[in-house]
A and B are shown apart, each in its own frame.
Chain A
């Protein structure tokens, strides 16, 4: 078995986010690390939408990410710490839209090792040096400078190692232009290590250590170290030099402390708590992330607590000595891994879990009546500040970036009966959890919809002048009339546009600089800007049937076959070409390309004929309307569209630079593609040679059951094709790749681009009798999603086969159930009332009532943290089509659902589905202690509208996995595998196997075989011998694997994902027999047991691959109708991908070679060797990395060519191959 790894949806979780002027312009970008890929975002300050400029796989694990700028520079560089054992400095090249490696310095072994630097970065704020640190011992400092050509240089590393030291965090201290200084949170464990009694370990204090890089001596000294009273979790550097007092803010449990070298005393301020919080009062408050905003004149910090509350921190200084820390509650947003404050006033919040947000900072929070806390406020001993969280006041939500991370589990199914299956994904954590239904397709926003007086045939938009920014008219053609609507604040009907309203329109367009043209069956109407109208009448009884128009040319067919060509002369007159041309068959469709900038005309006319051909005619005045080339088609062409595509869109995006047009004309010559929509629903895309008119390199794609109509529109500044069949598709070029994506929208009939003040880039379309204005925002997204909120972290779900409803098990640790919550609230309210004195009694009562009635939405404000060992669970039945919760079954406090299965019991003989729920009681995670568990059985009614509780079976262990098996229930209770049968009062234990070493986490069953996964010992193959009622392990794996997900590929083959990010496929060799006996006497086991008590037979590893993210679900499924099955996986970081099998050795060879060339020619960006990365844990075997192969599309043309040459192919062929394998299985 050979597999090809294909990423369908890149990881959506964010591990790091930094901002800076990476492109060197005025605009700031945000660079995200998504674990193993880097993504560059640019918030559009006009619309507030976040656009992705670039997303690159780096084939390594990003451990640290920083932006820095050399002194006096205008451009930020990116320095990446990864598992490569190298420090890599990247620069964004906006013209190529690529990240380029500026420096790559090796300092250690690869891998995420504790003493190899790469985990922490600290940058001197003046950009003179960078320190890279390991978790333990090692720290290296590199001096940055620039050479005479102003290129960035990097010095050899300076060591700042200290053994027996663990590092927690490091930052560059802003010391202006003094020697660069770095502050580290460290622990020296030497003493603790030597002391067997453990006392020293108790005493060991974290220290704040300052390292100074002496630029004169070229040497790093450990300048100062000071023990900290509390354990700190991170540092924030305070602006220094001329901009501030320098120093660091230390975020530790319950306190925020300011420290600096020199005479500065420490300033400490407690972290405020929420008023009347239901949280465990003993729980410490910590800040989890920070953002610093600094300008020349001021600076502030935004620090976020675990609960998501952001505080604005300002420092009061007195001659550069900080005298006071001031905290002010700012707003509450989801807890973040990183926050970036941009100069344009945006706050980008990369959430820990769930969607990421872009906010506009609307207020600085200075004028409200929120109290400002200060370190100078004297508190009673042990007290802290309190505040009341509230809805957003200072921030305005501007945009949302969907994120699936963490994906807990997923399933591919077509519950909606849409032909194309949907992906049902359980995402998120706690109250921000969701069930998301992913569909392949672009999300469409409806801007406006209106019914029309009749059923229109076609719609166009035209500009009044060629250089207008926005369209002026919408022209809607009906059977016998044309409606002209002018676009302004409202879309109104106009009659003075010059268009003829009493006839249907075949086509209309802007002509030349300021004229309009309307082609209707009886003629052509040329409307000049001064409202003079020139009419060209169709001769005799002939009428115009088809036409094609661009800015300067008009081609019409008269009575089916005759072609008449018009071209605009320099005076703006439309002149007919003297010769008319007769086509051999009836003309079905025609297309003209746009007139290239600086040229007189488009040189080719594409004509689709009824004889199943497409011909390219030359429009060269010398040989006008002579055929250049011809392509035969499987069925008649319905529609043609000539577009120029393929240049990077980043440079053409609005708002970059003033010289953007120059760039565009300079180096962005795209390829001309002829898109052919066939009447059988197939779209062909062929490359048109711009000189000879030859057609080559045809790609085919089935779009739908109806003939394909094609429309040229603008998307992100470049041309794109809207293809309409039974579904509407958009073919566009985005981030160096062609995308052909369906719109998740109803069937459309005709469309045109639309641009107005309200919607700069939209589509106007008609569908039956409605006119619609649509916008597509999330270009590049593969899936569009519908999300339904859940209450607790979802753990697993099953789909009721009859109704398609989903039963979701939700369980949260450290949470209250609703009952406990209200009881606790009541209790607190009671305390309030009783604590009040006589005169305050009335007030206290009011407050208590207000408190009880107060409802803070937990998805915004987080749920209260109840304390360790407190669990809340419920079973929810959800109609995934409408997102309706049918019912939910809450469990009592401290019952945690660990597993769930839906099955039929043969003994019940009622044909009904039962839901078995494995519950742990009073589970404590670390150390893992529980009060045992139980299995609850519910009977599901046929419509899945209620659950009937049958009984509860108490067991000693935690039921970690459940599975229906031959009409009975297989349960993994701790390390015991048992078969239970359905009883009247409880489940009846029928059979047991105790040979699983640690803990059963997954059970699959097929036929008589059971495949049981141990938490750390991979999969055991078990045969159930009915006759003997025995479960016998007959084979197991040779490697330990910490299993997270498995799926059966066939009776002998199982795919296993582990928690280190590996996928492996285990297959039982042919020689393995499952007909083994288990010897009750034990004698046989003495000599027939394998090594270390393993099974005597072993499975064979046929594939292994390091995905780099923890796979949470595996499923064999098809994603596109009529496609082949692939192994679909979803990872914790939000990636959705597929392993697709090669069907031919030839393909495998091809991609193997391509992969090999790519490894050589395009080594990963962060310095990790690709082969070593994919073999991080087990040597990669039989899996090719499609992500690497697809980078072929984005490398330089010269390299493409050389690789293609080495493989005896053309770049286009390789691209086609890449596209093919993707479209065969997915999208």
Chain B
């Protein structure tokens, strides 16, 4: 995927609105792709994007299952509860994000319903968009003649058919060559269709033959079409439908539940710490959580988004965690809430997407360039940029929010008007609609560094319970990272702090999430990584597994050095082997050998060894064979046998004669172990001294030097 140069046109993806609406059931990743293809497709003019936005609106409207915004969440299993839910939802808190936000709701609805409706639609082929025709036209047109929409649509169909036909011909022609498609073959097809072969289609280098002079020719390239035919294509939907069940609530209890939520939230967020604890405990175990979880979550989303105060955030997180812990919380399908919650949490972690700016990209008029997550600037920028679409679409919801929510919850707040506005870059202004479809309109400002850990904990906790939230958070973080790293030379301390937050967030999301960071790893210069980043990166080592992780390991090891060590204990041996292999594979000629690097180990005590290998220290230490194991037939000879002096006499008149030591005549008697230690000399102490290093005449190897990373090597002086 190309990413370069996309920073300006970043948001244009949302412009291909009709397409997006059709494919709204597809995954995030698909849409991410789309946003990039959209980027490439045209450098849109303002008018075209507006037009597409209009058509997008039509598309949404045409979906059968979404007549009103109230219906936006389908509740296939228990209609009663859905009603109850919505009642509960709307009546008490009337949350703008879910109830009132048409766009988001539309997407969510499409997501929910589209799965089934799109299933049977097979024969459709991707045609040219009329807009494409229009663009084609504009590219060739020098006369300012406006091509009507109608013409474009027709032309589009014709063009599509023509291309389809050509492709079909290619396919037919290729049968003769057994499914092998070559440039020549395509050219042949084009020729038959009276289309001259494309110039420059073959951009490969000339091959050269030296025979009676030099000749140049093209060697044909081969595409294995049959392989393409047979290729298995997986449609992956990362956020598979959750198992949804919603606790049924009878109408008569609705009020009580509403009360319950109210007091729970109030207590957890605003009461003293004792009450807070009680509330949290209650949330943790209340059986009602199944019924009120969604409400609480949506409430939290709003609070986090609008009340950007650290202490409040902390409390919100705490409550969220507690609720999430509650077993019945999982009975809820609360994707829309999670959708927003993810955005809010990630924004808290990594700042809103839009605030991230690559430093050296051409400065935008409306935004300060160098700063990405400055709270103040966000505030400055936000109002004039983005309140238009919001207010346009959901004025009444906003109003409800402002009037009902804020005074209740934040009686002392005066800055609330800032926080309701969405951050948008100038591109968003141009094309606000599509962005809104798959991105939450919520945001939050980043929390202080001290809270990151707790935030990550919250994210991790929530993500671990919901695959959807997990995917959502991951997507959002990736997005931010992509933007952050675009064209950026990471050098400043602030950059690293940002990376640190991202990494911590990813780590909180787990191993696979963290792996998304790997591509950016290589954008970091190892030597520039500050020590402060080590503790954040090092825990990633626990994700290391298998042999594929060589690069990650290598990098981590480069970046973190010793800081990685504590996290490697579980894998010490495995990694040693892995590094060994990887390293040795890197060596080209077979006879060029060098010492194999080892993984740095902790203090190699028995205890550590035991730690490294679980509870079985014997396995860990790979105990050396004992003498008896090595020599099953071991017999220690009785050296006393036939030795002089071991027969003693004891009788009257006996006077034993001292024997001449036989050893006097035998050289090498010093060999006997009983004799005083003569080796090593100079007492035992000097045997541990290593000095007077001497060079060998040849270097150990002719392969590139490998820096020592082993803990084996130490001098004992």
Contact = CB atoms under 8 A, between A and B. Distances in A.
A384 B701 CA distance: 12
Contact of B686 (A45, A282, A831, A851): A851
B642 A445 contact: yes
Contact of B639 (A268, A355, A390, A398): A398
Interface in A176-235: 226-229
Contacts of B675: 391
A375 interface: yes
A789 interface: yes
A851 B634 contact: no
Interface in B632-658: 632-657
Interface string A1164-1177: 00000000000000
B680 to A, nearest CB: 4
A30 interface: no
B647 A756 contact: yes
Interface string A367-408: 000010011111101111010111111011110100000000
A649 B594 CA distance: 56
Given A229-B592, A364-B630, A379-B595, A270 B692 contact: no
A477 B584 CA distance: 82
B665 interface: yes
B632 A295 contact: yes
Contacts of B694: 273, 281, 384
B595 A378 contact: yes
A343 B631 contact: yes
A684 interface: no
Contacts of B666: 400, 787
Interface in A1060-1099: none
Given A265-B585, A450-B656, A850-B683, A835 B708 contact: no
B595 A376 contact: yes
Contacts of A514: none
B203 interface: no
Given A378-B706, A378-B708, A770-B657, A392 B682 contact: no
B1 interface: no
Nearest to B697: A282
B691 A847 contact: yes
A716 to B, nearest CB: 13
A831 B646 CA distance: 51
B59 interface: no
B599 to A, nearest CB: 9
B651 A44 contact: no
A491 B651 contact: yes
A575 to B, nearest CB: 35
Contacts, number: 332
B585 to A, nearest CB: 7
Interface stretch (A516-524, A856-864, A1111-1119): A856-864
Contacts of A270: 696, 700
A853 B681 contact: yes
A369 to B, nearest CB: 8
A302 to B, nearest CB: 12
Interface stretch (A96-104, A164-172, A729-737, A771-779): A771-779
Contact of B633 (A227, A344, A392, A398): A344
B410 interface: no
A764 to B, nearest CB: 10
A276 interface: yes
Interface string A313-349: 0000010010110000000111000000001110000
A990 interface: no
Interface stretch (B421-429, B457-465, B470-478, B620-628): B620-628
Interface in A961-1019: none
A447 B642 contact: yes
Contacts of A375: 595-596
Main secondary structure of the interface of B (DSSP, over half): loop
Contact of A378 (B597, B633, B647, B678): B597
B587 to A, nearest CB: 7
A275 interface: yes
A760 interface: yes
B32 interface: no
Given A493-B650, A756-B647, A760-B642, A377 B593 contact: no
Interface in A346-372: 355, 357, 360-364, 366, 371
Nearest to A396: B673
A448 B670 contact: no
A293 B637 contact: no
B673 A391 contact: yes
Interface stretch (B378-386, B551-559, B709-717): B709-717
Interface residues of A, number: 124
Interface in B97-118: none
A620 interface: no
Contacts of A226: 590-591
Contacts of A364: 624-627, 630
A771 B656 CA distance: 9
User: Which of A357, A454, A493 counts the most B-chain CB atoms under 10 A from its CB?
Assistant: A493
Contact of B648 (A254, A491, A789, A855): A491
A854 interface: yes
A696 interface: no
Interface string B676-693: 111111110111011111
A381 B699 contact: yes
Interface string A832-868: 1001100010011001011101111101110000000
B598 to A, nearest CB: 4
A908 interface: no
Nearest to A229: B591
Contacts of B634: 343-345
A298 interface: yes
A833 to B, nearest CB: 10
A48 interface: yes
A381 B700 CA distance: 6
Interface in A258-287: 259, 265-270, 273, 275-276, 281-282, 284
Contact of B647 (A389, A447, A777): A447
B705 A490 contact: no
Contacts of A771: 649, 654
B713 A377 contact: yes
Contacts of B207: none
Contact of A366 (B624, B644, B667): B624
B121 interface: no
Nearest to B682: A850
A492 B692 contact: no
A371 B689 CA distance: 12
Contacts of B671: 333, 357, 391-392, 397, 860
B680 A265 contact: no
Given A345-B627, A374-B712, A383-B693, A854 B649 contact: no
A854 B681 contact: yes
A789 B667 contact: yes
A859 B670 CA distance: 9
A229 B699 CA distance: 12
A786 B663 CA distance: 11
Contacts of B596: 267, 323-324, 375-376
B497 interface: no
Contacts of A777: 642
B514 to A, nearest CB: 26
13 contacts: A47-B641, A276-B691, A343-B633, A355-B667, A361-B631, A391-B678, A391-B679, A397-B673, A447-B644, A450-B655, A758-B646, A787-B667, A857-B670
Given A362-B673, A847-B682, 11 more contacts: A47-B642, A364-B630, A378-B595, A384-B696, A390-B677, A391-B675, A446-B660, A448-B646, A844-B691, A851-B682, A851-B686
Interface of B: 576-577, 580-581, 584-585, 587, 590-598, 624-627, 629-657, 659-660, 662, 665-668, 670-673, 675-683, 685-687, 689-701, 705-710, 712-713, 716-717
Closest 10 CB pairs of A and B: A854-B681, A390-B679, A850-B682, A453-B653, A48-B637, A493-B651, A378-B708, A268-B593, A265-B584, A448-B647
